[in-house]
Amino acid sequence: MRIGVVGGGQLGRMLGLAGIPLGFEFRFLDPSPDACAGAVGGRLVAAYDDEDALRELAEWADVATYEFENVPVRSAEVLEAAGAPVRPGVEALRVSQDRLDEKEFFHGLGIATAPFRAVDSREELAAAVDEIGLPAVLKTRRMGYDGKGQAVLRSPADLADAWEALGGRPLVLEGFVDFRRELSVIAARGTGGAIQVYPVVENTHEDGILRRSRAPALKVSDICRVGANRIARAVLERLDYVGVVAIELFETGDGLIANEMAPRVHNSGHWSIEGAETSQFENHLRAIAGLPLGSTRVSRPAGMVNILGTLPETADVLSLPGAHLHLYGKEERPGRKIGHVTVVDGDAEVVRQRLDRLLHPPADPADPAPA
């Protein structure tokens, strides 16, 4: 099976690592000659909208997928026209590229979101703030990620700066959600319609970037578990989806609120490589290749921390029992995701302590690791 992937970052690289044992071959289309997925497959160095390169990829591949949601819709259409089925499909890509379309899509399925208004002018911003109230979050509709392209409005005085920073592009104003915690639900759907849902994950963000995930999330009520499942299934079925989807949720006193969805494998599912019976990467590949899905059961409580900006000492990480280091082969740069560490243990509290130690290393590395 030949898999053509648009994008050659760490998600593509981990897809390759999961697919090689299945006998799959990979080719990654990415504008960067250094794209880190090149370690696990061929590289096609071209812009994401280079139609000749897309056709070359489609002619080589049995199936095409993408590892980030800002691939132009037109590119997915070119791949399909050149004979490679694109999974997940073009509609999933289109909906998840635009925060306004995405929220309207959720509403159409009866899934709660923060209140929102489209904002295309300074006057519309003032009107939207009047309707939604403060605090609120102003976001670009397209191309935002890891907290980029957004501004929190706490008082009317913040409007001018936020407009200065973001105005001129299509925007959406969202009510600020006073959440208890952030969760995500990751699920896979196969070509025959079978669905597997991973247990709900608890996520902590700092400055809009995912810092840590824990799986399964602790103290998930039955209502929350059922609600997350229902949301994942509704999204997958409405889009006739094939592959893995991730939906970011806020848990509030009034239930779950959907924030956004990613039509791809997701950072909050990286723990599944060691912590689940079948990783999100393998299940994405099984799905798009038309193979049976694997169990999404958590085999051991797991947690993950992202490595941002600076590489840790490999030996320090590996001295921690149950820790698994994943480096993406990317250059160090402030704030950049360059790897992650997963910790697994039979005891969720031990996992928590070890994640804390990774996030806040002791001044003296000789301090004993939590038992």
Give the footprint of ligand AMP on this chain (CB under 6 A): 114, 137, 144, 147, 174, 176-177, 182, 205, 208, 248, 259-260
Q: How many CB atoms lie within 10 A of CB 207?
A: 10
Task: DSSP for 218-237, please give it.
Answer: SS--HHHHHHHHHHHHHHHH
Residue 209 to residue 266: CA distance in whole angstroms: 13
Closest contact distance (angstroms) between CB of 171 and ligand AMP is 13
Closest contact distance (angstroms) between CB of 84 and ligand AMP is 30
* Residue (260 or 345) nearer to ligand AMP, CB: 260
* Residue (182 or 251) nearer to ligand AMP, CB: 182
User: Which H/E stretch holds residue 323?
Assistant: strand 323-327
Closest contact distance (angstroms) between CB of 124 and ligand AMP is 18
* Residue (57 or 183) nearer to ligand AMP, CB: 183
Q: Which residues contact 131 (CB under 8 A, 6 or more apart)?
A: 115, 117
* Residue (148 or 297) nearer to ligand AMP, CB: 148
Closest contact distance (angstroms) between CB of 208 and ligand AMP is 4
Of residues 284, 225, 249, the one with CA closest to residue 65: 284
Tokens of 233: 């299934």
Q: How many CB atoms lie within 10 A of CB 193?
A: 11
* Residue (122 or 180) nearer to ligand AMP, CB: 180
* Residue (92 or 137) nearer to ligand AMP, CB: 137
Q: Encode 70-122 in three state secondary structure.
A: CCCHHHHHHHHHCCCCECCCHHHHHHHCCHHHHHHHHHHCCCCCCCEEEECCH
Closest contact distance (angstroms) between CB of 268 and ligand AMP is 10
Tokens of 51: 């139609």
* Residue (19 or 269) nearer to ligand AMP, CB: 269
Rounded (10°) angle between helices 122-132 and 158-166: 130
Residue 23 to residue 363: CA distance in whole angstroms: 45
Closest contact distance (angstroms) between CB of 166 and ligand AMP is 13
Residue nearest to ligand AMP (CB): 177
Total number of residues shown for the chain = 371
Strands 171-175 and 136-140: antiparallel
Question: Hunting for tokens 């920073």 — which residue is that?
Answer: 165
Closest contact distance (angstroms) between CB of 10 and ligand AMP is 18
Closest contact distance (angstroms) between CB of 250 and ligand AMP is 7
* Residue (58 or 92) nearer to ligand AMP, CB: 92
